Structure 1
């Protein structure tokens, strides 16, 4: 990223340099030609004033004082290209003739009622700007190219110098240690980069500390909860009339599994896997389901069901959905699992007159939605009078 910033900054500086050179070159040409034309026009204006003054004193026309200016008493004596301009109604102008002739024309009326006479200056031999570019244009071009090259080198040096602190900061961020202090070299700078480095180091240190606390919390909770749950399950296994207590313990264990999976969802890498294999494995884990006939268990799934996500999270989601269906459907419930149009549906029948029962986590729809959202999936629940449906849209 830092290299792209340096290239972009160099491109901006170089483009601005070249544009500035072109603008000043164009401005120089315009000023040179305009100055030259204004000088010739000023000479004609002085000749016209002298002509009128002489006619006022002597009642006659005199020849111009400059050799390059000629006086024409009639438009008929003007060169053909100039006569065409006069015939168009113009009394002054600049006429270029192919072959090198360059005329400046001005009409002069010695009295307001008199017919105009014409001052024509052939300025081709005295033009300086065009001759200057012809004679020393190569030298000027070499000097201009040298200045542009010098400016581009200066732009490259500036871009490298300005972006170097950002490059150093980016390299330090890429090579950060897993633990330790985040002391960036740019923190001592008294500009925006130093402020950024200081705040970035503080934020990263806080983030790593929070991750370390979360990992320690997960480890401690896992040890402190799973161990007494295991002891309690073993004790209940030999106790009479403890089925409900064992069910609650199982639900607590399932809740802990899901909560830990959600806490570690960001560290679980996603990838493709076969969802049908997960569903079959979950069904085989349920007591007695392997002995069901086709009337009670209907599987309408393709031979392979490739999806994208995390297999551990998907197993927890399927296990809770199927376990919830079997528990709330009753001993004689029927279960159907189908996949159509990219949607997985789990349907179970509900025995009429069966009292509502609550079984801990398996009734927590919010956690199931969070579990699906962690993989980019969606889940919705559609309760009915005699059936219950869970619809899952995998990715």
Structure 2
């Protein structure tokens, strides 16, 4: 069963419903008991009074002596009194009779075909009984209101440790190795058990993340040596005058791929570091300098494919960013644009808050855009042997640095990637 209310509100509702059920049961019980006792006592008194009248007065042929609030009716005897029409239809036994605002208790008895009725005015008793009913109802309403107040206070007290625990779990420092455990802050109850479960889960998660960081760091570090060998070998081969033009082109391709792999390894190595202040120790550069370098590097590849490349550097900017991360993001977006564009153009535009990469390629359907930033997800027009990690790496770097990347469509075809490098500086709406 799915509830739409918060846990505190559900506790409050349950508390009020329980009080209403118990209080309502007691209120109805009190009213029924009072009514039953009233019927038994008054019927006994009327029956005794009727027996006295029949044995003492009626049998002796004298009119009965009664209190001012009691009447006697009979259709025989020395002073027969006609039974009123509204009483003549009553069955033998005890009854409540109402005449306007007055209320009466009537006892009807039939003996040898004769009808006897003893009628007693109970208006004062009924008034007191109505007061009792009102008191019971007021008490019921007050108990519900008190339950509402107490339920609200108790719900806050009960939910307070749960809310505090949720805030501690959501805190980003909880995944750090030096973060204190949660369980000692809570009593040995259900919330304490939940805190202990979070400690165990977060501990295992921290171990997994630590192993991942160590693996990424080790792999990235160990790959530097073979990459350095490849780069040095490419330089030696490029200086070899015996290479034909085709071989020289292949060596240049290997050298560029080695340089890109070196940048990618360095990026993974920096992402493996959990602390933000560690990554801030890396070299920083302005957006303009990184974009100028990559525009010069990619222009030849883009134009060799028959595409036009437009680079708008915009006004100079003093802001400096992590050079490796910025180079990786911009390089991956340019590579992605070149990979999926067969004709038309690619454009790189620097803005005050970031940059935009646009292309006239095959584009990405709207329903697939959100998933394109997930690992191992490739566009509908799959090309080459890529694993679909380029855009996921872009997203991961942007999240690490507090940047924002957005994907939209171009008309008539193509994609537009906008990266906001100052998203973390803006206040949340």
Q: Tell me what 2:39 maps to.
A: 37
Q: Tell me what 1:94 maps to.
A: 96
Q: Deviations over 1:131-175 (max 9, x none)?
A: 8749x969x979x969986x7897678657655654664575457
Q: Deviations over 1:302-347 (max 9, x none)?
A: x9xxxxxx98776344322344368xx7xxxx44459xxxx96416
Aligned equivalent of 1:237, options 235, 241, 251 = 235
Q: CA deviation at 1:104?
A: 1.7
Rounded to whole Å, the distance in 1 between the matches of 2:105 and 2:167 is 68
Q: Contact conserved, 1:324 with 1:363, CA < 8 A, in 2? A: no
Q: Tell me what 2:389 maps to.
A: 367
Q: Tell me what 2:253 maps to.
A: 247
The residue correspondences of 1:271-290 to structure 2 (distance < 5 A) are 285-288=297-300
Q: CA deviation at 1:296?
A: 4.8
Q: CA deviation at 1:256?
A: 6.8
Q: Tell me what 2:73 maps to.
A: 72
5+ long unaligned stretches in structure 2: 1-5, 241-246, 277-289, 315-324, 348-357, 364-382, 399-404, 419-429
Aligned equivalent of 2:212, options 208, 211, 214 = 214
Q: Tell me what 2:201 maps to.
A: 203
Q: CA deviation at 1:40?
A: 2.2
**TM-score scaled by length of structure 1:** 0.56
Rounded to whole Å, the distance in 1 between the matches of 2:60 and 2:268 is 112
Give the length in aligned residue pairs: 330
SS of the residue corresponding to residue 104 of structure 2 reads strand
Rounded to whole Å, the distance in 2 between the matches of 1:177 and 1:322 is 36
Q: Contact conserved, 2:234 with 2:255, CA < 8 A, in 1? A: no
Q: Contact conserved, 1:284 with 1:290, CA < 8 A, in 2? A: no
Q: Tell me what 1:107 maps to.
A: 108
Rounded to whole Å, the distance in 2 between the matches of 1:346 and 1:107 is 102
Describe the shift of the 1:290–1:365 C-alpha distance in structure 2 as closer, same or farther (beyond 3 A).
Answer: closer
Q: Contact conserved, 2:95 with 2:106, CA < 8 A, in 1? A: yes
SS of the residue corresponding to residue 346 of structure 1 reads coil
Q: Contact conserved, 1:369 with 1:378, CA < 8 A, in 2? A: no
Describe the shift of the 1:94–1:257 C-alpha distance in structure 2 as closer, same or farther (beyond 3 A).
Answer: farther
Rounded to whole Å, the distance in 2 between the matches of 1:362 and 1:279 is 26
Q: Tell me what 1:120 maps to.
A: 119
Q: Tell me what 1:320 maps to.
A: 335
Describe the shift of the 1:181–1:59 C-alpha distance in structure 2 as closer, same or farther (beyond 3 A).
Answer: same
**TM-score scaled by length of structure 2:** 0.53
Q: CA deviation at 1:23?
A: 4.4
Q: Contact conserved, 1:17 with 1:148, CA < 8 A, in 2? A: no
Structure with higher RCO (Cα < 8 A, 6+ apart): 1
Q: Deviations over 1:27-79 (max 9, x none)?
A: 3234223421343234445666x489869x96989859887542212698567
Rounded to whole Å, the distance in 1 between the matches of 2:333 and 2:235 is 26
Q: CA deviation at 1:103?
A: 0.6
SS of the residue corresponding to residue 366 of structure 1 reads coil
Rounded to whole Å, the distance in 2 between the matches of 1:251 and 1:64 is 126
Q: Contact conserved, 2:107 with 2:118, CA < 8 A, in 1? A: yes
Q: Contact conserved, 2:302 with 2:308, CA < 8 A, in 1? A: no
Rounded to whole Å, the distance in 1 between the matches of 2:72 and 2:205 is 92
SS of the residue corresponding to residue 389 of structure 2 reads helix
Describe the shift of the 1:186–1:9 C-alpha distance in structure 2 as closer, same or farther (beyond 3 A).
Answer: farther
Q: Deviations over 1:278-297 (max 9, x none)?
A: 9999665424368799x853
CA RMSD of aligned residues (A): 5.9
Rounded to whole Å, the distance in 1 between the matches of 2:185 and 2:145 is 37
Rounded to whole Å, the distance in 2 between the matches of 1:232 and 1:156 is 70
Describe the shift of the 1:105–1:368 C-alpha distance in structure 2 as closer, same or farther (beyond 3 A).
Answer: same
Q: Tell me what 1:225 maps to.
A: 223
Range with greater deviation from structure 2 (63-72 or 228-237): 63-72
5+ long unaligned stretches in structure 1: 270-277, 304-309, 349-360, 380-388
Q: CA deviation at 1:192?
A: 2.9
Rounded to whole Å, the distance in 2 between the matches of 1:160 and 1:37 is 48
